[in-house]
Structure 1
Amino acid sequence: MGMVFTLYGAAGSGSAPVEATLRLIGLDYRVVEAPTWEGEVERDKVAAVNPMRQIPALVTPGGEVITESAAILIWLADAHPHARLSPGLDDPRRAQFLRWMSFIPAAVYSMFWVRDEPSRLVGDDPHAQAAIQQRTIDRIAECWRMMDSQITPGRFLLGEEMTVLDLYVAVASRWTPRRRRFYAEAPGMAEVVRRVDALPALRTFWAERFPFDDGWEG
């Protein structure tokens, strides 16, 4: 029991790629389910390990706390090189790996803080809130389009080997504006995320934690 990781997260959330990585590496973990977007009670579950009261947060078997999805994914992959889920420091793919692992939370993920509660920025004006909702959708789509124009995937985003970047994009691209728009904006990455969706090693995981229900693509 002393070697168990604790993941604060929720089904279908930003903790999904972290949980998928834990499974692929073969690490023992437990999940503290905390869908923080549902209110203060859920946010309070996370407060002890992350004062921002946000998920994901990972507690290592040694008691160290790691927050921020990109940081957790990079750390897990680098700490378990046998799983081959990140390019090594001397790998020519490393710079682009770090570039895009940073791009997703900075450019895409950040939009959801605004979308979840537009009143944080524009108060109670319903027209302003509606404008924020539409502009953030368009901004996310623009970010996917730009990323697609800057990479040349192989079987996976950085070549022939899958990395945690593929898991990160496969999950984030399922959020608003959802996959149909993603496929249109990022046709070069579309086949990669479909390939990640179909990984036999994650079939049970997707069914449990982010199922492909009717209409999931948008």
Structure 2
Amino acid sequence: MTYIVYGAAGSGSAPVEAALTLIGAPYRVIEAVTWEGEAERDKVAPVNPMRQIPALVTPEGETITESAAILIWLAEQHPEAALGPDPGDPGRAQFLRWMTFIPASIYSMYWIRDAPARLGGDDPEAQATILARTAERIADCWAKMESQIVPDRFLLGPEPTVLDLYVAVASRWTPHRKRFHVVAPRMGAVMRRVDALPELQDFWAERFPFAGNYVS
């Protein structure tokens, strides 16, 4: 009973793959580097008409898209892994709040950043402005989250959840961890703990290596 993940190294599929690793569920990845062209996007078309990653095909053959939805669903399906508060748990509201804040306010910026010509046309100056302003928007969103959350050892308590995995990956993208640690230092300390989880060391090394701008 194997999960199938449509994804790519260092992409939005990384937290899904990390969650499955912590759960201990068997999975395989169909690599689809969608930002590299139509042929790569076409690999995802059979399961996601948006031709975007990640997409998860369950052992029962159901397709789930949208990284937050996948992560929340996995946490619910595998309560033994304790990767999210159960419905009715006092921490559930904040868990859902931040799990939806990230795609709505931060992840959505990368659709623009990946191809600034979508909004800026062929004007190089307009594209440069879009890249600069979206980077500032992302940093500001991390700062707002930092101002509203009081981490324990992990973001929501003493043990990691899929929210920690989601932030650990997204915070490596532009404007990268160096800026993230400036605007969200308490969350940054948590992300260093997520980076160092022994259960994920081989996974990070293979799917999102610590290098360059991705960590600090």
Alignment TM-score > 0.5, same fold: yes
Match of 2:101 among 100, 103, 106: 103
Q: Which residue of 2 aligns with 1:17?
A: 15
Of 177, 181, 184, which residue of structure 2 is paired with 1:183? 181
Deviations 1:159-201 (A, max 9, x none): 1121100000000000000000000000110110000000000
1:123 matches 2:116: no
In 2: Cα distance, 1:16 partner to 1:216 partner: 14
Q: 2:82 aligns with which of 72, 77, 84?
A: 84
Runs of 4+ in 1 over 4 A off after TM superposition: none
Instruction: State the identity as a percent.
Output: 71
Query: How far apart are the structure 2 equivalents of 1:148 and 1:215?
Result: 21
Question: CA distance change for structure 1 residues 130 and 214 in 2, over 3 Å: closer, same or farther?
Answer: closer
1:179-218 pair list within 5 angstroms: 179-217=177-215
CA distance in 1, matches of 2:28, 2:148: 37
Distance 2:215 2:23 in 1: 28
Aligned partner letter, 1:64: E
Post-superposition CA distance 1:17-46 (Å, at most 9, x none)? 000001110111110000100000100000
Say whether the 8 Å CA contact 2:178–2:213 is kept in structure 1: no
Q: How many residues align?
A: 216
Q: Is the 8 A contact 2:176 2:213 kept in 1?
A: no
* Paired residues for 1:134-213 under 5 Å: 134-213=132-211
Distance across 1 between alignment mates of 2:105 and 2:125: 24
Residue 33 (structure 1) aligned to one of 21, 31, 48: 31
User: Residue type matched to 2:126 in 1?
Assistant: A
Distance 2:211 2:177 in 1: 13
Separation (CA, whole Å) in 2 of partners of 1:205 and 1:81: 21
Contact 2:142 2:184 in 1 (8 A): yes
Unpaired stretches in structure 2, ≥5 consecutive residues = none
CA RMSD of aligned residues (A): 0.9
What's the CA shift for 1:121? 1.1
